[in-house]
Structure 1
Amino acid sequence: SKTEKVAQSLLDSIDQTFYITTNFLADILGNLKRLTLSFQLEHISLTEIKLQIATVIQMINESFIGTENFSPTWGYHLRTYLQTNDLASEDIPDFIQQFAIATIENLNRRFPNRKILNAFSIFDPQNLLEKESLLDYRNDEIYILANYYGKEKTSK
């Protein structure tokens, strides 16, 4: 039938690059999903958001970019696919690392000043400590916010 021919044609067009890409996306999107879920909580902790962003960036670096001293681990799904099919890192298309690098750059552009996120935690009632004195309560965070928002603004 026509449907079977279309299905067979699609099946025939699936190659190794498709499987590598699909497994890569399962890994990297899983990391990004955890970050987006933290924005959907009833109570959003800015301190937690800062930690989540740093964790996602670190996981993407370790999984798909690597360092001078360490090769990428390739994430769970992609690594499993590589091992199952006896493939090496050299078999991974360049666009995988390029996409990972672009994702990190995008996260850094969207959240450029994570010190500010952390400083906003002073307004989070869940972060208040009962024993802290209000005289010296989170002075570092207040200083960061004052420097960022306290700059003299002029209108044109």
Structure 2
Amino acid sequence: MGFKKRAGRHRIQTLAFGGTKSLKGINVNSVLTWCGALTASEAVNVNSNATFNMYGKLYQGSQQNPWNSLNINSGSLLNLEGDLTTYGHMILNSNASFKVKGNVTIFGDLTLNEGSKIEFIGTKSVITIRGKVIKNGKSTITGTYVDTNNKL
């Protein structure tokens, strides 16, 4: 996955997969679409200007090592339609976007950096944050959702 340089040009590689898979970690460098269930025992990184479309269930980290995190980096997008459970921290870096239609559970902290955006789609989304919410600069949260622990 990622940008490939060939004869002075950049080519964006778009990958799409489905099914049920367990991985050590995930690095998205371009566009990745997954339909089904995906587990990453360590970190998930949606790298700068990349897009991760997740349709189904995404599990990140483990209760044994909560320091692994889900990182949505500068200018990137995590588009979730389904369920996300992260046992570590979730970090939205500058100008990162997280679009949600479903249920999100974060056992660690949620960090929202300058210009980051969370957009809840539809009317039935639920977010549960067990850790702290850390806001570094101005971030935007829009849409209709239920915040079970009143953290946002």
Q: TM-score range by the shorter chain?
A: under 0.3
Higher relative contact order (CA 8 A, sep 6+): 1
Larger radius of gyration: 1
The structure richer in helix per residue is: 1
TM-score (norm 1): 0.21
Q: Which has the higher strand share?
A: 2
TM-score by length of 2: 0.21
